[in-house]
Amino acid sequence: MKALVIKSTGLWYEVMANQERLMVRLRGKFKLEDKKLTNPIAVGDWVEINPNEQVDGEWVIIKIYDRENYVMRASPRKKGHDHLIASNISQGVLIVTLKRPRTSIGFIDRFLITLESFRIPGVILFNKEDLYAEKELRKYEELKEVYQKIGYQVDLCQFESQVTEDTRSLFKNKTSLLSGHSGAGKSTLINQLIPEATQEVKEISDFANKGVHTTTFAELFYLDDQSAIIDTPGIKELGLSEIEDEELSHYFPEMRQFLGQCKFHNCLHENEPDCAVKEAVGDAVPELRYQSYLSILRSEDGRK
Ligand SMILES: Nc1nc2c(ncn2[C@@H]2O[C@H](COP(=O)(O)OP(=O)(O)OP(=O)(O)O)[C@@H](O)[C@H]2O)c(=O)[nH]1
Ligand SMILES: [Mg+2]
Ligand SMILES: [Zn+2]
């Protein structure tokens, strides 16, 4: 029977098969097949399940169907390993906050690069508008201009008090992945969108001004038959993996148009002469994005 993985705790998977929720297990040998992943199956995966012949009433996953796409990050714990965040998604929605907690530009850009590498559309929602003073509102306007200009949808929200029709309609007829730091408000949004959802929500730590990692497992929720939304645990850093230095600029949509025009075909757009990307900085390529590009290029991440 074909089933969709809607929650994964590592040992057990909750799946939806023929409108029914089932807890299933994975046959042991699967775990070893791809040694570079810390988790062999992610929420959003389509799997084939069979009754377990040895244990009455238990189901096991016998096959993972090919993934249309997936989002992963370098495992922060296991060097050289990747962690699957979710698969088969139609858009990535990043929940950003400029206060309590503050999301860095590097984090936003790493998320967008991850999406671009799979050609998954990205949306950026700035949450907690009610906490923004003049300074944060100016920052928001600045970032909105940058990200809209290069093709991403951007909006200002306050999920705790209300979710607008515009935000609701973003999720129609799609499978959306929610991502962002702990405490950004992902679960708050889920609870607002889905009256039956009871995702735990916790206050930011006053001491650290950070979220306390309330959500610990990714989970898929249905908004209606055609629309699903995946809540995920907040992440501190999004390490990129499987992206070589030479490809990095391909995942900056505003740089793509210049890539064939540099003097050197393997130009990293750093210090090379006659670089078309560098010439476009401040114009088609926003300064802030170029600085972010350089910083990611020079950082280790999980790339290599
Ligand atoms: N002031 C304000 N607080 C908000 C808003 N949205 C959410 N919060 C609060 O932010 C805190 C964290 O919200 P959560 O929804 O738990 O955040 P999360 O992104 O799910 O966090 P993790 O599960 O840890 O990744 C809670 O205290 C929420 O009430 C908002 O629009 N304004
Ligand atoms: Mg949460
Ligand atoms: Zn160049």
- What span, in angstroms and rounded, lies between the C-alpha atoms of 128 and 272? 42
- pLDDT tens, position by position, 50-67: 998 888 888 999 999 999
Q: What is the DSSP letter of 297?
A: H
Q: Tell me which ligand sits closest to the C-alpha of residue 183.
A: 1
Binding site membership of 101 for ligand 1 (Cβ less than 6 Å):
no
17 burial via Cβ count (<10 Å: 0-12, 13-18, 19+): middle
Residues 75/38, Cβ–Cβ less than 8 Å: yes
- pLDDT tens, position by position, 158-201: 999 999 999 999 999 999 999 999 999 999 999 999 999 999 99
Q: Is 60 exceeded by the pLDDT of residue 33?
A: no
- Higher-confidence residue of 237 and 48: namely 48
Residue type, 294: L
Its sign, for the CA torsion 75, 178, 174, 188, is positive
Residue 303 binned pLDDT confidence (cut-offs 50, 70, 90): low
Q: Specify the long-range contacts of residues 287-295, CB closer than 8 Å, at least 24 apart.
A: 288/105, 288/146, 289/109, 289/146, 289/150, 289/252, 289/254, 292/105, 292/106, 292/109, 293/109, 293/248, 293/249, 293/252, 293/255, 293/269, 294/270, 295/106
Cite the beta strand spans of 146-209 per DSSP E: 153-156, 175-179
Q: What pLDDT score does 297 carry? A: 95
Token pair, residue 6, equals 């809607």
Map residue 142 onto helix, strand or coil: helix
- pLDDT tens, position by position, 113-153: 999 998 999 999 999 999 999 999 999 999 999 999 999 99
Binding site membership of 203 for ligand 1 (Cβ less than 6 Å):
yes
Q: What pLDDT score does 4 carry? A: 98
Quote the ligand 3 centre to 87 CA distance (angstroms): 33
Please tell me the least confidently modeled range out of 52-66, 92-106, 211-225, 265-279: 52-66
- What span, in angstroms and rounded, lies between the C-alpha atoms of 302 and 243? 9
- What span, in angstroms and rounded, lies between the C-alpha atoms of 80 and 36? 7
Q: What pLDDT score does 11 carry? A: 81
Token pair, residue 253, equals 């949509």
Residues 302/239, Cβ–Cβ less than 8 Å: yes
Which ligand 1 atom is at minimum distance from the Cα of 127?
A: 31
Q: What pLDDT score does 304 carry? A: 45
- Higher-confidence residue of 31 and 69: namely 69
Residue 29 binned pLDDT confidence (cut-offs 50, 70, 90): low
What the chain holds in terms of domains, given with CATH numbers, is 2-64 (2.40.50.140), 87-231 (3.40.50.300), 245-298 (1.10.40.50)
Binding site membership of 89 for ligand 1 (Cβ less than 6 Å):
no
Q: What pLDDT score does 215 carry? A: 93
- What span, in angstroms and rounded, lies between the C-alpha atoms of 150 and 4? 34
CA-to-CA separations, 261 to 156, 273, 289, in angstroms, rounded: 36, 12, 19
Q: Tell me which ligand sits closest to the C-alpha of residue 278.
A: 3
Report, as an integer, the average pLDDT of 60-82: 90
Report, as an integer, the average pLDDT of 59-79: 91
- pLDDT tens, position by position, 222-232: 999 999 999 99
Q: Tell me which ligand sits closest to the C-alpha of residue 180.
A: 1
Q: Is 60 exceeded by the pLDDT of residue 32?
A: no
Which residues make Cβ contacts (< 8 Å) with residue 116, sequence separation at least 6? 122, 250, 251, 252, 253
Token pair, residue 127, equals 């949450």
Quote the ligand 1 centre to 295 CA distance (angstroms): 29
Strands 122-127 and 153-156: parallel
Quote the ligand 2 centre to 204 CA distance (angstroms): 11
Global pTM reads 0.95
Strands 59-64 and 153-156: unpaired
